[in-house]
Amino acid sequence: MTNFRRLLEVLADGGVEFILIGGVAAAAYGAVRNTLDLDVVYRRTSANLDRLAAALAPLVPYPRGAPPGLPFVWDARTIQNGLNFTLATSLGDLDLLGEITAGGPYEQLIGKTVELEVFGRTYRCIELSELIRVKRAVGRPKDFEAIAELEKLLELAPRK
Amino acid sequence: MGRSDDEWVDPVIEVYKRDVDVTLLQSHLRKTPTERLEALQSMHELVEELRRGVAARRRGP
């Protein structure tokens, strides 16, 4: 079971630079669909990789769905050598994305984010319109219902 | 002149939008983001509990 609040807090407490995306971001905007994991885009600077490795190490991250016993070492070098990681942790499932289709890496996405206050903290979250654009661009049939819901939310949102 | 991606109306998505429960969304929009994520966590825990129950039932007594 994924503890969304604690996972976010662990990343924030570790000083990790990341952007909240995916189903949890959608839920923060009012979507009612369930999601099983936390998706974030992390910044791939050397310092941030060190922070990410240190913050998550106590949660014993391991590739989700992989057979046990793999020589998987969770450290900055592993993160540097990879890009996107779908992980099982002691606080639940976490997808760490170095970049996303149609959204790019952290530096490209950061201009399309808003500050969102949840659980008494402030997190960087992908803008609703950008979340829709990215999901549209990916074009997975399984996302059609989610996109429809997000577009309705955008229509319902107060105009600025 | 072409339309931007943001303006593009996807007819498939438009069909899906007919089935969206707007009253449910409006109810969620009255909540704070924290309350929305708390609701997500509760739903997630319920689904996991149901999965455990189904798995236990399949294993039998």
ipTM of the assembly? 0.91
Query: Please, which pLDDT band fits residue B2 given cuts at 50, 70 and 90?
Result: very low
Residues of A in contact with B31 (CB under 8 A): 30
pLDDT in tens, A33-84: 999 999 999 999 999 999 999 999 999 999 999 999 999 999 999 999 999 9
**Whether B25 and A2 lie within 8 Å, measured CB to CB:** no
B5: pLDDT strictly greater than 80: no
Lowest mean pLDDT among A89-93, A97-101, A120-124, B3-7: B3-7
Query: Please, which pLDDT band fits residue B7 given cuts at 50, 70 and 90?
Result: low
Partner residue facing A27 (CB), from B6, B22, B37: B37
Mutate to test the interface with A, among B44, B45, B50, B51 (most CBs of A within 10 A): B44
**Whether B40 and A34 lie within 8 Å, measured CB to CB:** yes
Residues of B in contact with A113 (CB under 8 A): none
Sign, CA dihedral A136-A129-A147-A20, equals positive
β-bridge mates for residue A21, sequence order: A39
Distance from CA of A31 to the nearest CA of B (A): 7
Measured CA to CA, the distance from residue A9 to residue B45 in angstroms comes to 19
Rounded to 5, what percent of chain A is helix, strand, coil? 45, 25, 30
Partner residue facing B29 (CB), from A23, A24, A156: A156
DSSP character for B24? H
% of chain A beyond a pLDDT of 90: 91
Q: Cα A126–A128–A131 angle (5° rounding)?
A: 65
Contact with chain A for residue B12, Cβ under 8 A? yes
**Whether B34 and A137 lie within 8 Å, measured CB to CB:** no
pLDDT in tens, A108-155: 999 999 999 999 999 999 999 999 999 999 888 889 999 999 999 999
Measured between CA atoms, the residue of chain A closest to residue B52 is: A1
pLDDT of residue A160: 56
pLDDT of residue B60: 83
β-bridge mates for residue A20, sequence order: A40, A125
Residue with tokens 């941030």: A48
Distance from CA of B29 to the nearest CA of A (A): 6
pLDDT of residue B1: 41
> Could you tell me how many helices (H) and strands (E) chain A has, helices first?
7, 9
**Whether A149 and B25 lie within 8 Å, measured CB to CB:** yes
B6: pLDDT strictly greater than 60: no
